[in-house]
Amino acid sequence: MAEKRMRLDDAPLNKFHLKITALTFGAHFTDAYALGIISIALVMLTPQMHLTPIWVGLIGSSALIGIFIGSLLLGWLSDRIGRQKIFIFNFLLITVATFLQFFVHNAVELFILRVLIGIGLGGDYTVGVTMLAEFAPRKYRGSLLGSLEVMWAVGYAGSTVLGYFMQQSSPDSWRWMLVSGTIPSLIVLLMRIGTPESPRWLISKGRRQEANQIITKHIGPNIEVDETEVQNQGGFSKLFNKNLRIRTAIGSLFFVCLVIPYFAIYTFLPSILTHMGFKENFLTDLVLNIFLIIGAIFGIWCTDKFSRRGFLIGSFAILTVCLFLLSVLPSGSSALLITCFIIFTIVMSAVCNLTAVYTAELFPTDVRASGIGFVTAISRVGSAAGTFFLPTAIANFGVAYSMLGLTLVLLIGMITSIAWAPETKTLTLSEASNTETDKVKSQLKDSKVL
């Protein structure tokens, strides 16, 4: 009797799925580590290199600049030449550029290397999430993609702890801080050698036989890709046609409305905490980093428990209320302020799980990497803008009004999510990215918030 065929979306979870997930952790851990460690290293290298405020800002944002470039360029390229090649190239670039930081002599050299690191990270944000989404079974897609945010939080917290202790060792310890990222990136690079191509991408290019061989070897002999995965001709312009432009818009808007307050607040956390009456010290930063990790783990549970649309809208609502209270409550309300800040930290970290899960489900296979790359690039523009303008806003309007401005950003994210966000949780990856106008409208109409 012939064995019953099963769709790739419904395949049982196996060791290969866990391996792809572990390999995709690399970009999120390395991104968080690179962003966290540079903030500590800059304190030490600024007087040594006689950096002007402009160069401090450029070096501090250099990885974000690179992520913007890499997300657009390498995301588009992976839709053209395949996921696997870019999946390996990303960490080859990251590993080499990270190692060379040890030998820099001036700000220009460091800036260029960190932009290159950012390009690799941007490409891996795009291609890594795409690869994992295209292999992951529907039942476990949310958990696997959501776990990436946990690794981001671990990487950021790890860089804070390591940087704090390393800065006390020697005047040149900033070199060792920056080069320390070579170890995890090299491990990821070596482990990625031999990673197969995405079967969905192969089928979208008409290469079904190759796709079936990969599926049989790594997933199972009775597994097949949905028949709806057909050969398509994607292109960057397709993201803005009448069927996809709403999804491109909501993917960009919800992402950017989360990262603007996220990066702005946590980059200048000491100043904000001081305004609220809390003493700035290492322990405070460490405790909040722990809550970031707790929130990321909580987000995996929420991703499985709630609908994508409901989790997104509900989180925006909670974040908006918390940040509004943090803006208007007097500095003497210590207990209430710290409670709001903890809730804000946990929910913000939790909902950031959707930046990987939801974006992967919004776009069809032929432009999935381009779509994820575009919304990631937009998010980095937003995070850079928020980080750049917040100090000016605080200087001119004060912390309270600046926080109210960030509250407005969250409110915009909630409103646009209510208006446009489709539900994708219970669908196969091909169904989730179905862009027929009537089907999208039906999903919007019938979706429940929770």
**Per-residue model confidence as pLDDT tens digits over 184-234:** 899 989 999 999 999 989 988 888 899 999 999 999 888 877 655 554 555
Least confident of 108-112, 234-238, 352-356: 234-238
Structure tokens at 113: 């290397």
Q: Say whether 194 sits in a helix, a strand or coil.
A: coil
Mean pLDDT of 62-90: 91
Note if the pTM is more than 0.75: yes
pLDDT category of residue 438 using cuts at 50, 70 and 90: very low
Place 74 in a pLDDT band, splitting at 50, 70 and 90.
very high
Q: What is the mean pLDDT of residues 344-355?
A: 93
* pLDDT at site 44: 85
354-413: pLDDT as tens digits: 998 999 899 988 889 899 999 989 998 888 777 777 777 877 888 888 889 999 999 999
186 Cβ partners below 8 Å, 6+ apart?
95
Q: Which amino acid is at 234?
A: G
Q: Are 152 and 32 in contact (CB under 8 A)?
A: yes
pLDDT score for 71: 92
Task: Tell me which fold the domain 15-195 belongs to.
Answer: Growth Hormone; Chain: A; (1.20.1250)
Fill in the amino acid letter for 41: A
Q: What confidence category does residue 449 fall into, taking pLDDT thresholds of 50, 70 and 90? A: very low
In the chain, what are the domain boundaries?
A: 15-195, 236-450
Reduced to 3 states, what is the DSSP secondary structure of residue 13? Answer: coil
What pLDDT shows up at residue 170?
78
Please state, for a pLDDT cut of 70, what percent of the chain lies above it. Answer: 88
Q: How far apart are CA 341 and CA 84, in angstroms?
A: 41
Spatial neighbors of 325 by CB under 8 A, at least 6 apart, are 336, 340
Question: What distance in Å separates the CA atoms of residue 124 and residue 195, rounded to the nearest whole number?
Answer: 14
pLDDT at position 179 over 60: yes
pLDDT digit string, tens, across residues 269-301: 666 777 666 665 566 667 777 888 899 999 999
Statement: residue 437 has pLDDT above 50: no
For 6, list phi and psi in degrees, rounded to 5.
-135, 140
Among 55-59, 150-154, 303-307, 417-421, the minimum mean pLDDT is found in 55-59
Provide the pLDDT for residue 3.
57
For residues 419-428, give the mean pLDDT: 86
Tokens of 351: 């909902």
For residue 5, the model assigns a pLDDT of 74
pLDDT of residue 441: 45
Pair 59, 38: CB distance under 8 Å: yes
d(Cα 255, Cα 359) in Å, to the nearest integer? 9
Backbone angles phi, psi at 408, to 5 degrees: -60, -40
Contact 167, 43 (CB under 8 A): yes
Return the minimum-mean-pLDDT range out of 6-10, 108-112, 119-123, 324-328: 6-10
Q: Where are the alpha helices (DSSP H) in 268-367?
A: 269-275, 282-305, 308-328, 334-351, 354-362
CB 22 within 8 A of CB 16: no
Place of tokens 């989360």: 258
pLDDT at 398: 81
Do 236-450 and 15-195 have the same topology in CATH? yes
pLDDT higher than 50, residue 445: no
- Average pLDDT (8-32) is 87
Domain 236-450 carries which CATH code?
Answer: 1.20.1250.20
